[in-house]
């Protein structure tokens, strides 16, 4: 079990082999055993395998090639639609059209997603999370026909690996764990925590390719810019409003 976690790497190249119904059902079932708030299970999972719709979703995911190539794409959604309908059918008046309820449902969706991801890897499958899910939520909502009170939170591709990339680096455990209180980071701490990452061969290559002075500048100037983040923030808040989750009194 721990081995599956320790061996995790994102897989971006897949064999053409399909994922059987049996395997797919097993990993989805493992997902549904995750903890959810009050056991409400306010999430939904959308399975995409057909080419046409997967190609549309590929465009929403910034044309990342693995979305087209992987046999399966799973999208995990915050979903109060089902629960609200149940309440309304049971003489109960749901009060879940607010930000807290959205966030509760997002937590459910993410714990379920990680269960499914690990269950998939345990079956010999590879996965790759798609951060683009929240960037382009509005388009994905249209493509998957998500009703009010449903918002896509994360997604990943699933298939049998056709590559065996090395483990990616991580910050030292002590760099992300605090005991009792949060211990804020001195300049010296920052240097120590990031030193291994900064000394990697691929870091030096990245800096050369991107023609920046530091690795951090690749993040702030190329990959995750303020301009993009503000545009995506506005779009995501608009989606929450539109999907019915911003009636905060």
> CB-wise, 16 or 89, nearer to a copy of itself?
89
> CB-wise, 60 or 104, nearer to a copy of itself?
104
CA 33 to chain centre: 19
Distance between CA 161 and CA 12 in Å, rounded?
Answer: 8
Minimum Å gap between C-beta 98 and a copy of itself is 4
> CB-wise, 68 or 98, nearer to a copy of itself?
98
Choose among 19, 46, 45, 10: nearest CA to 31.
Answer: 45
Check: CB of residue 240 under 8 Å from CB of residue 138.
no
Minimum Å gap between C-beta 60 and a copy of itself is 14
Distance between CA 168 and CA 47 in Å, rounded?
Answer: 28
Check: CB of residue 82 under 8 Å from CB of residue 147.
no
> CB-wise, 13 or 111, nearer to a copy of itself?
111
Minimum Å gap between C-beta 171 and a copy of itself is 5
Residue for token pair 């699933």:
158
Q: How far is CA 101 from CA 110, 196, 209, in A?
A: 14, 40, 44
Minimum Å gap between C-beta 88 and a copy of itself is 8
> CB-wise, 63 or 142, nearer to a copy of itself?
142
Minimum Å gap between C-beta 1 and a copy of itself is 4
């Amino acid at each position: 079990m721990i081995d599956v976690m320790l061996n995790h790497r994102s897989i971006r190249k897949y064999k053409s082999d399909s994922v059987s119904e049996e395997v797919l059902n097993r990993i989805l079932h493992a997902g549904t055993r995750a903890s959810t708030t009050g056991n409400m299970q306010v999430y939904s999972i959308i399975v995409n395998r057909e080419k046409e719709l997967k190609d549309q979703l590929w465009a929403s995911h910034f044309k990342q090639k693995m979305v087209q190539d992987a046999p399966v794409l799973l999208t995990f959604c915050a979903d109060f639609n089902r629960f609200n309908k149940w309440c309304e059918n049971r003489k109960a008046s749901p009060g879940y059209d607010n930000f807290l309820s959205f966030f509760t449902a997002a937590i459910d969706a993410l714990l379920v997603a990680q269960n499914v991801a690990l269950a998939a890897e345990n079956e010999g499958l590879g996965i790759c999370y798609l951060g683009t899910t929240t960037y382009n939520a509005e388009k994905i909502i249209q493509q998957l026909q998500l009703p009010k009170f449903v918002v896509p939170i994360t997604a990943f591709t699933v298939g049998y690996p056709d590559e065996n990339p090395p483990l990616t680096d991580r910050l030292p455990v002590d760099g992300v764990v605090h005991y009792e209180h949060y211990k804020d980071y001195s300049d010296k701490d920052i240097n120590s925590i990031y030193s291994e990452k900064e000394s990697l061969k691929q870091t030096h290559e990245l800096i050369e390719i991107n023609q920046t002075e530091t690795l951090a500048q690749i993040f702030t100037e190329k990959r995750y810019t303020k301009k993009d983040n503000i545009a995506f923030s506005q779009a995501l808040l608009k989606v929450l409003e539109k999907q019915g989750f911003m009636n905060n009194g």
